[in-house]
Amino acid sequence: MTAPLLYALAGAILCGIGLFGLLWLSHLLRKLVAFNIMGSGVFLVLVGLPQHQGGQDPVPQALVLTGIVVAIAATALAVVLIRRYYHLSGLTSLTGEPASREGAPE
Amino acid sequence: MTLNAWIPVFALMTSLVAALVIFLLPEKGYRLRTTVNLGAALVKLGLVVVMVWGVFRGVDYGLSFTMVPGVTFVLKADALSMMFAGLSAVLWLLTTIYAVGYLEDSPNRSRFFGFFSLCVASTMGIALAGNLFTFFLFYEMLTLSTYPLVVHRGTEKALRAGRTYLIYTLSGGAVLLLAIAWLHGVAGDLPFREGGHFIDADPEIHRSLILIFILLVAGLGVKAALFPLHGWLPQAMVAPAPVSALLHAVAVVKAGAFGIVRVVYDIYGVEASSALGVLEPLAWLAAFTILYASVRALSQVDLKRRLAFSTISQVSYIILGVSLFGPVAAAGGLVHLLHQGLMKITLFFCAGNYAETLGIHRIDEMDGVGRRMPGTSLAFTIGAFGMIGAPPLAGFITKWVLGSGALAAGMDWVIAVLVLSSLLNAAYFLPILHRLWFREPQASWPEERFWGRLETSAWLFWPPLLTAVMTVMVGVLASLPFSPLSWAELIVLREYSP
Amino acid sequence: MIAFESVLVLLAVGLPLLYPILALRAGWARVLRYSMPVLPLPALVLALATEPGWQLELPWLLNGGLWAMDELRRLFLLLTAVLWAVAGIYAVGYLGAHYLQRFCVFWGLTLAGNIGLTVAVDAGSFYSFFALMTFAGYGLVVHEGTAEASHAGRVYLVMAVLGEMAILAGLLLASAAADSQMLSDLPPAIAESPRRDLMMALLVAGFGVKAGLPLLHFWLPLAHPVAPTPASAVLSGAMIKAGLLGWLVTLPFGDIALQGWGTLMLGAGAVGSIGAAVLGVCQQRPKAVLAYSSISQMGLMVLMVGAAMADSERAPVLFSVIALYALHHGLAKGSLFLSAGMSLPAGRIRRAAVWLLIALPGLSLAGLPFTSGALAKLAMKEGLAEDKLDFALGGYLSPLMTAGAVATLLLVLRYFWTLSGTLQTGRNPPMLAAGWLMAIGVSLMAFWWMPWEVEGLVKSPLWLPAPYQLWALIWPMLLAVALAGLTLWATRVVRHR
Amino acid sequence: MTLWLMAGLLFTPLAWAVLTLLTDFAWGRVVTWGGIVVQVLVSLGLWLAVSRDGGFYYGLGGWEAPLGIELRVDGLAVTFVLLTAVVASACGFHAGVYIDPDKPWHRYFWPLFWFLWSGLNAVWLGGDLFNLYVGLELISLSAVGLVALGGKAAALRASLRYLLAALLGSLAYLLGVALIYGQFGTLSIAGVVFWLEDHPVPAGSGLALALMVTGLALKTALFPLHRWLPPAHGIAQSPVSALLSALVVKASFYIAARLWLELGEPLGNLAAAQLVGLLGSAAVVWGSWLALRQSALKQVVAYSSVAQIGYLFLLFPLTYSVSESVSQQAQQGITLQVISHALAKAAMFLAAGNLILSTGSNRVDALTGVSRFLPFSLFSFGLAGVSLMSLPPSGGFAAKWLLLQASLGSGQWWWVLVLLTGGLLSAAYVFRIYRASFLENSETDEFYHPSRSLEVIPMVLALMAIGLGMVSEEVLSVMALPFEEEGSP
C-alpha cells in the first residue's frame, strides 16, 4: 500500500460519499456540496492512481488544475440558479411543488 | 447523361414541382392554381406518351445513382411501368379537372391540390421505380401524401378513417421494409428485371425466399386491400370524391397490386415463384378476396362504401391474374390494372356527382336519378356493367382473358370464381341501376344545387363521361395496337421470354 | 359487292346502336318515335338482298371480330328484322308519352343486340350482342313501372344474369379447348373435349334461359305479359329465338352423335310443350297464355334440337326445319301478341273481320292448312320421321308432336277466349293498326316468299299439303276443338249448378 | 490554410462569446449573425479541405499531447462540425427573430450560444479524453444556462435538474478517465489501443469503460437515465430546445461511441453490449409511448428525442464481435441517424415554436384547425416527422435501412423488431399532432402569423433531413476518408 494508492482509495471513498449525497439529499445546496465532494474524490483518484505505478507524473496535476476551474464554474452557475430558483418559487429542493407547473406560453 | 435518362425524372418532376408551386400559392389564386394543375397534368401526359412510344421501340429510359451504401436509386421505364404510368397520367388529368369542380368554394384548396400532386408524383415514382428500394421510397411517400387527402374534411369521422388508414398502411410499410431489407441481405440489390432473378436460386435460400415473399405480399397486400388487410379501404370513403377516385382507381390500391406484380415478375420471376410454390396460395387468397368483398358489398347501403368493397374485390383480379402461372392469365391480370382503374374512377366520379349535385350518399336515395342526371347515370351504368363484366366493356375483356388464361394454366376453378364474382357484382350493381332508371324520383333531393344548362357543373360532368367512353373503347377496341390489352400482351411477352 | 354488304351490316348494327343518341335532346322525342320502324330496315335489306356467304373481318373488335352470314343466320336475321320492323310501326302508334325516350333507348339497344348476335361469328361479339340484348331487354320488360313489372323484371334479370354467366363460362371453356375465338371452331372442339358434358351443360342451360327451357322458363310468363305490347311481340317472337340460335351455333351437332343429350333435350322438349300448355290454359290474361304458348312452341323446337343432337347425320336437315319453324313461329306469335293491344272497331262486320285477322295467325300456329304453320308442321313431321332418324327414342317423337299440336291449338283457343274478355271497343291509332296488319300480312302472306329451305321434306306445291298430310294436320286440331268445347260445356254445367 | 481554418473554428465562437457578453440582445444579434457567417464558411472550408486531403492531427498552438491540446480532424469530425454549423446557425437566425429582446436576461443568450458552439466543436475535434471532458462541461454549463433563460421557476427547476444530472455524468466520466489514465498512462484513445497491442488486458479496466459510458449515457439521456431531458427540452425556448436536442445530447453520445468503437472490443463484453442495446430499445418504445401521451406539444417532441436517442445505442450491440462489414453498416447507420435526427429534431422544435407562437398555447389540442392557417410550419413539422418516422427518402430512413441490414447481417434480428416498432410508434405521435391540426373547428379562427423568416428556417432544415437520404452515400463517403496517422502518440 503506497501513499498514492491510499490517495486514490480515499478519493474513491469521497466519490462514494459525494454520490450518496448527490442522490439522497434533497436540499439543493447540500447536493451542490456533495457534488464538490465527489469532484474532489475524482481529482484525488486522478492524481493518485498514476503515481502509484509510474512515480511522479505532471500531467494529472495539470489536468486537475483544469478540472478545478471547471468545477468552480459549475458551482458558480449552480449557486446562481439555486438562488434565483429560491427567489422565484421559495423552494430549496426539486421535490416540492413549484409556483407554476406548466410552461407558460413564451 | 442523355436526354433519355432524364425523361423519367421530368415525368416525376412535373407533378412534384406542381405540388410545390401549389403549396406556395395563396388560397385565392384559383385561376393560377388550376392552370398549374392542368398544365402539369398535360405535360406529364405528353412525356408519358413519348415514353410509351419509346418503350415500344425498345428505347432505354432510366437513371440510377447510389443513395445509401449498397443501395441504388433507379428510375427506369419498361413496358410494365408505362402501363401504370399511362394510367396515372391519363386519370390524373381527368381527376384534376374533376377535383377543380368538386372543390369549388371549399376551404383548404391549396393544401388539397398540393398533396394531390404529391400523390400523383408518388404514383409516377412507383411506376418508374427500377428496384424494390426505389419502389418502397415512393410507396411510403404515397402513404404520406394521401393521408392529408383522406382527412381533408377534418371531421372526426374523417380523422378516424385517416388513423385507420395510417395504421394499416404504415404497418404494411414496416413489413414491406423488413422484407426488402431481408431480401437485400440475402440477394443484394436487385433491379427489376424481366424474367426475375431467382430462376436458378440456390436451394439453400429457398426457405428464406418463401418467407420473404410472404412478407412482401403482406406488406403490399395492405394497399392492394387483400383479405384480411382490407379494413382501411371502406373507411377511407369519407374522403372527398376525387380522392376516393384516386385512391381506388389509380394510386393506392394499384400501387399495392402493381408492387405484387413487380415482385412476382421482376424480382422473383414468374417461373421461380411458381417453382417456390408461392403462387398458388396467392391465387387462392386473391380468389377468396374477390368473393368475400363482393359478398360484403351486397349489404352496404352507402354508395361509396359499396363501391369500396367492389374495389377490394376487383383489385384482387389483378393479383389473381399474375398469380396464375401462364402468359394469358397474366395479360388478363395486367390489363385489369388499367381497366379497373377506368371503370372504378367512372363510378366514383359519378358517386361524387350525385353527392355534390343532389346530396345523395345512400343507395336508397337514388331512385329516379337517371331522369335528373342522365349523363352521369349513363356513365355510372357503363361503369357498373363494366364491373359486372358485361361485354363488350373493359371488364369483359379482363374476365375473358383471365378465364382463358386460367384454363390454359389448368386452374379451372378460377372460372367458377369469375362467374360467381360476376353474379355477385350483378347482384349489387343491378339494383342500383334499376333505381336509377326505373324508379320514380322522390319528391325532392336531399340537397340540390343547380349549375345552369348541364345537369351538374361542367367540371364534374365531363370526366365521368370521358372515362365511361374509355371504358367502352378499351373493351371494344381491345385488339388495336396500344390498347391496354395489346400492351399487356407485350409486357407478358417480354416477361415470359426475357 | 363485299363493300356493299359490309356497309349494310355495319349500318344494320350501327343504326339501332347509335339511335339512342337521339334521346340526348329532349326536343327530339318525335323524331325518336317515328324513326323506330326505320331501325331494322338495313338488316331487312341485308337479309333479303344479299346472298349468304359473305363475311366481314373486324380485327380491331374485342378479341378479333368476324361477322358473316349463312343460310341459318339469314333466316334468323330475316325474322328479327321483319318482326322488329312491324313491331316498330306498331309501337309508334302504341306508345304514350310515358317515358318515351327511355323506351326508345332500350328498344334501339335491344334491337342492336338482337341483330348483332345473328351476324356475329366470333365468340366475343356474339356474346357481347347477346348480353346487350339481354340487359337492354330488361328496360323493355320493366317499362310500365308497375310493381308487377318490377317483380317480373327482377326475375328476368336474375335468370338472365345466371344464363349469361353460364354462357360465358361455356364459351370460355369451349374457346379455350378450341384455342379459337370463332364460333364455328367451337362445336368440333366441344365434341372432342374431355369436358364436353360440362361445356354442353353450361351452354344448353345458358341459352336455355333465353329459349324458355323448362325449369329455366320462370321469367318468361312473368316478363312477356307485363312488357308493352310491341316489346312482348319481339320478346316472344324474336328474342326468344336468340337462345335457339345460340344452341345451333355453339353445340356440336354435325360432329358427334350424343344420344344422352338428345334424350335429355327430348325430355325437356316434351315437358316444355305439354307442361306449358297445361299451365297456359289455366292463365287468365291473354298475354300470359301467349307466353306459355311460346314456351310450348319452343318445346317443340327443343324436340328437334334433341333429335339433331342424337343423330349427327340428320342434323343439317333438321337445322333447316328448325329455322323454318322458328321463322313461322316468330311471325305468328308476333302477330298474336300485337293483337293483344288492339281495340275492336264498333261495326259488327268490321269486328268480325278483325277477329278473323286475329284468329288466322293463331290457327296458323296450330297448323291450319294453307298457312305457314301447316308447312312448318309438315316439315317437322318429315324431319323427325322415325324411319329416317337414328335415335333410340325416335318412336316417341310422333305422338309428342301430335300432342304438341293439340296443346298448341288449345292454348290458341284459350288465348282467344281470354282476349275476347279483355279487348275493348274503340279506335286504333293508324300506325298501330298498320303495324298489326303488316304483322299478320307478313305471317300469312309474305312468309311464302321468304328464303326458307324445305327441299326434300315437303312435296310441292308447298302451300297445299297432300291429302294424307291434311288429315294428319287436321285431326289434332279437331281433337283440340272438341276438348275445348267439352271444357267449355263442363264449366258451364258446373257454373250452372 | 488549414491553420487559419482551425483557428477560425475554435476561436471565433469564443471570441464572439466574449464580444456578445458586452452587448445587449439586439446588438448581439447583429454581431452573432456576422459570426455565424464566418463560422459556417470556416466549417465548410474545413470540410472541403478534409474531403480533399483526408484527416490529420493538429496540435493547437504547436503544443503536443498530453499537455497541449491536440485535435483529431477526420471525416466524421468535420461532418459533425459542419452539421453543427448548419443547425446552430439555423437556430441562431431563428432565435434572433423568435426571442423577445425586451426581457433583460435574454441578452445572455448570445454568449451562451457561442460557448455552446465552441464546446461542441471542441468535442467533435477533441483528441484526448480530458479535453473531451472539458468540452463536455463547456457544453453542459452553457446548455443549462440556456434552459434557465426561460426565467420562470419551472424553467429554473428544469435547468437545475439538468445541471445536476450533467454534473453527475461528467464526474462519472472523469472518474473513468482517471482510471484509464491510471491504468494505461495515456489520455488518448489511440494510445490505449496502442498500449493494448502488446499488453494483456488488465483486470478491472472494463470498469473504467463502464463508468465513462454510464456517465455519458446519463448526459445523453439513455433510458432509464432520461428523466431530466423532457422537462429541460420542453421548457426551454424553442431555438434552445432545438440546439439541445439536435446537438448537445449528440456530443456525449459521440464520445461514448468513439470509446466503444475503439475500446469496446478489448474491454467490453457481449452482455454489456446487449444490455446497452436493450436499454436503447426500451428508450425507443417507452419514449415513443410517453410522447404519444403528452398533452403539451413540446413535451411530445422532447420525448421523441428520448426515443430517437435510443436508436443510437443500438451501435453497441451491432458493432460488438460482428463482421467488419456489419460493423461498418452499423456505424454508418448510426452516423446518419445522428445527422438526420439533428436536422429533423431542430426543424421540429423550431416549427413547434412557430405553432406555439401562432396558437398562443403549448397544448396539442390548441392546434385544432391550424392547418388552414399555418400550413408551412405544419408542413415543416410533418417533413421532419417523416424523417423521425424513418420513412423514405429521409436520412432517418437511410439510417434505419443500414441498421436493419446490420441487424439482419449479424443475426441479431430482435433489433429489427425494435426498429420497425419504433418507426410505427413515432408515426403515431407525429400523426397525433397532424390529426389535431387537421380537425376542423370553426370556433378558434384567430391565429397569429409568425414572420416568414421564422417559417422558412425549419422548412430548410426539414428539407435537409429529407434530402439527406438521397445523398447519404456522399455524406458517408466523406466520413470514410483515409486518416493520416502521422501524429500518432
pLDDT-derived band at B498 (thresholds 50, 70, 90) equals low
Q: Which domain holds residue C346?
A: 2-496
Cα D347–Cα D351–Cα D357 angle in degrees, nearest 5: 150
Q: Does residue B27 carry a pLDDT above 60?
A: yes
Residue B437 sits at the chain C interface (C-beta within 8 Å): yes
A26-68 pLDDT per residue, tens: 888 899 999 999 999 998 888 887 776 666 777 888 888 888 9
CB A87, CB D150: distance < 8 Å: no
In this prediction, residues C461-486 reach a mean pLDDT of 77
Contacts with C124 from chain B: Cβ below 8 Å: 391-392, 400
B294-323 pLDDT per residue, tens: 999 999 888 888 988 998 898 898 888 888
Q: What is the pLDDT of residue B77?
A: 86
pLDDT-derived band at C369 (thresholds 50, 70, 90) equals confident
The pLDDT mean for chain B works out to 86
Contacts of C249 (CB under 8 A, 6+ apart): C72, C126, C183, C184
The grid coordinates listed for D430 are: 407525429
The grid coordinates listed for D409 are: 447481417
**Structural Rg of chain B based on CA atoms:** 21
Ramachandran angles phi, psi of C331, nearest 5°: -65, -45
Q: Domain-by-domain residue ranges, chain D?
A: 311-481
Q: Does residue D280 carry a pLDDT above 90?
A: yes
pLDDT-derived band at D346 (thresholds 50, 70, 90) equals very high
Residue C479 sits at the chain B interface (C-beta within 8 Å): no
- Searching chain D, which residue's CA lies closest to the CA of residue A87? D153
> What gap in Å lies between CA B268 and CA D184, rounded to an integer?
56
Angle between helices D414-438 and D375-388 (to 10 degrees): 170
Chains C and D touch (3+ CB pairs under 8 A): no
In terms of pLDDT, which residue wins out, B109 or B406?
A: B406
Of D141, D157, D362, the CB nearest to A105: D362
CB D253, CB D220: distance < 8 Å: yes
Query: What secondary structure does DSSP assign to D40-54, as a single string?
Result: HHHHHHHHHHHHHH-
Of D375, D409, D476, the CB nearest to B69: D476
In this prediction, residues C378-382 reach a mean pLDDT of 81
Whether B391 sits inside 8 A of C153 (CB atoms) is no
Measured in whole angstroms, the distance separating CA C234 from the mean position of its chain's CA atoms is 8
Q: What is the pTM of this model?
A: 0.87
Q: Does residue D173 carry a pLDDT above 90?
A: yes
CB A41, CB A15: distance < 8 Å: yes
Query: Hunting for cell 482517471 — which residue is that?
Result: D178
Question: CATH assignment of A3-89?
Answer: 1.10.287.3510
Of B65, B140, B175, the CB nearest to D391: B140
Q: What is the pLDDT of residue C462?
A: 61
- Searching chain C, which residue's CA lies closest to the CA of residue B370? C102
Other beta carbons within 10 angstroms of residue B154's beta carbon come to: 21
Chains A and D touch (3+ CB pairs under 8 A): yes
H helices of C19-122, in order, are 29-34, 41-49, 71-94, 100-119
The grid coordinates listed for D467 are: 434530402
The grid coordinates listed for A51 are: 503515481
> What gap in Å lies between CA D392 and CA D32, rounded to an integer?
36
The grid coordinates listed for B139 are: 410507396
Ramachandran angles phi, psi of D90, nearest 5°: -60, -45
Span of C39-43, C195-199, D10-14, D370-374 with lowest mean pLDDT: D370-374
Span of C254-268, C270-284, D209-223, D363-377 with lowest mean pLDDT: D363-377
Q: C476: closest CA among C363, C396, C328?
A: C363
Closest Cα of chain D to A25: distance in Å? 12
Ramachandran angles phi, psi of B150, nearest 5°: -65, -40
Whether B437 sits inside 8 A of C139 (CB atoms) is yes
CB C376, CB C329: distance < 8 Å: yes
Closest Cα of chain B to D153: distance in Å? 38
> What gap in Å lies between CA D432 and CA D75, rounded to an integer?
38
Contacts with D234 from chain A: Cβ below 8 Å: 103
Whether A73 sits inside 8 A of D141 (CB atoms) is yes
CB B327, CB B270: distance < 8 Å: no
- Searching chain D, which residue's CA lies closest to the CA of residue A46? D178
In terms of pLDDT, which residue wins out, B88 or D373?
A: B88
Other beta carbons within 10 angstroms of residue C392's beta carbon come to: 12
Chains C and B touch (3+ CB pairs under 8 A): yes
Cα–Cα distances in angstroms (integers) from residue C54 to residues C119, C124, C181, C316, in the given order? 11, 19, 19, 20
Residue C147 sits at the chain B interface (C-beta within 8 Å): no
Bridge partner residues of C66 (DSSP): C57
> What gap in Å lies between CA C320 and CA C73, rounded to an integer?
11
> What gap in Å lies between CA B421 and CA A59, rounded to an integer?
85
Give the helix/strand (H/E) hosting B73: strand B71-77
Of C65, C131, C176, the CB nearest to B404: C176
Question: CA dihedral defined by C243, C245, C246, C252, rounded to 10 degrees?
Answer: 130
Closest Cα of chain D to A73: distance in Å? 8
Q: Does residue D263 carry a pLDDT above 90?
A: no
Whether A46 sits inside 8 A of D174 (CB atoms) is yes
Contacts with B417 from chain C: Cβ below 8 Å: none
Cα–Cα distances in angstroms (integers) from residue B410 to residues B39, B413, B489, C172, in the given order? 48, 9, 20, 13
Cα B130–Cα B135–Cα B138 angle in degrees, nearest 5: 125
**Which of C165, C179, C190 would best serve as a mutation to test chain B binding (most B beta carbons within 10 A)?**
C165
Whether D435 sits inside 8 A of B162 (CB atoms) is yes
Residue B140 sits at the chain D interface (C-beta within 8 Å): yes
In terms of pLDDT, which residue wins out, C395 or B351?
A: B351
Q: What is the pLDDT of residue C463?
A: 59
Contacts of D158 (CB under 8 A, 6+ apart): D147, D150, D228, D231, D232, D234, D235, D236
A4-25 pLDDT per residue, tens: 778 888 888 999 999 998 888 8
Neighbours of chain C (3+ CB pairs under 8 A): B
Angle between helices C240-250 and C196-211 (to 10 degrees): 160
Other beta carbons within 10 angstroms of residue B134's beta carbon come to: 25
> What gap in Å lies between CA B218 and CA B172, rounded to an integer?
7
- What single-letter amino acid sits at B315? V
Angle between helices D395-410 and D375-388 (to 10 degrees): 10
CB D321, CB D270: distance < 8 Å: yes
**Which range, B63-67, C51-55, D129-133, is most confident?**
D129-133
Contacts with D133 from chain A: Cβ below 8 Å: 67, 70
Output DSSP code: residue D63: P
Contacts with C227 from chain B: Cβ below 8 Å: none
Contacts of B280 (CB under 8 A, 6+ apart): B323
Contacts with D376 from chain B: Cβ below 8 Å: 23
- What single-letter amino acid sits at B184? H
CB D209, CB D257: distance < 8 Å: no
Beta strands in D54-201 (DSSP E): 56-59, 70-73
CB B357, CB B377: distance < 8 Å: no
Whether B397 sits inside 8 A of C62 (CB atoms) is yes
Output DSSP code: residue B248: I
Of B437, B438, B479, the CB nearest to C61: B479
Q: What is the pLDDT of residue A100?
A: 45
Closest Cα of chain B to C190: distance in Å? 14
Q: Domain-by-domain residue ranges, chain A?
A: 3-89
Angle between helices C372-383 and C286-310 (to 10 degrees): 30
Of B68, B158, B175, the CB nearest to D472: B68
Closest Cα of chain B to C247: distance in Å? 19
pLDDT-derived band at D62 (thresholds 50, 70, 90) equals low
Q: Does residue B127 carry a pLDDT above 70?
A: yes
pLDDT-derived band at B443 (thresholds 50, 70, 90) equals confident
**Which range, D66-75, D160-169, D265-274, is most confident?**
D160-169
> What gap in Å lies between CA D42 and CA D4, rounded to an integer?
9
pLDDT-derived band at D326 (thresholds 50, 70, 90) equals confident
Contacts with C135 from chain B: Cβ below 8 Å: 385, 390
pLDDT-derived band at D482 (thresholds 50, 70, 90) equals low
Closest Cα of chain B to D272: distance in Å? 27
> What gap in Å lies between CA B145 and CA B118, rounded to an integer?
6
Q: Does residue D488 carry a pLDDT above 60?
A: no
**Which of D328, D373, D420, D459 would best serve as a mutation to test chain B binding (most B beta carbons within 10 A)?**
D420
Other beta carbons within 10 angstroms of residue C194's beta carbon come to: 7
Bridge partner residues of B75 (DSSP): B63, B129
- Searching chain D, which residue's CA lies closest to the CA of residue A32? D164
Output DSSP code: residue C50: S
Closest Cα of chain B to D32: distance in Å? 31
The grid coordinates listed for B448 are: 340540390
Bridge partner residues of A10 (DSSP): none
Other beta carbons within 10 angstroms of residue C24's beta carbon come to: 12
Contacts with D187 from chain A: Cβ below 8 Å: 59, 63
Cα B168–Cα B174–Cα B177 angle in degrees, nearest 5: 135
Closest Cα of chain D to A31: distance in Å? 8
Measured in whole angstroms, the distance separating CA C75 from the mean position of its chain's CA atoms is 12
Q: D381: closest CA among D391, D371, D395, D392?
A: D371
Of C62, C162, C165, the CB nearest to B478: C62
In this prediction, residues B259-281 reach a mean pLDDT of 87
CB C198, CB C252: distance < 8 Å: no
Residue B332 sits at the chain C interface (C-beta within 8 Å): no
Whether D401 sits inside 8 A of B68 (CB atoms) is yes
Q: Does residue C331 carry a pLDDT above 70?
A: yes
Contacts with A57 from chain D: Cβ below 8 Å: 185
C104-114 pLDDT per residue, tens: 888 999 999 99
The pLDDT mean for chain C works out to 85
> What gap in Å lies between CA D347 and CA D468, rounded to an integer?
14
Closest Cα of chain C to B288: distance in Å? 19
Q: What is the pLDDT of residue D140?
A: 92
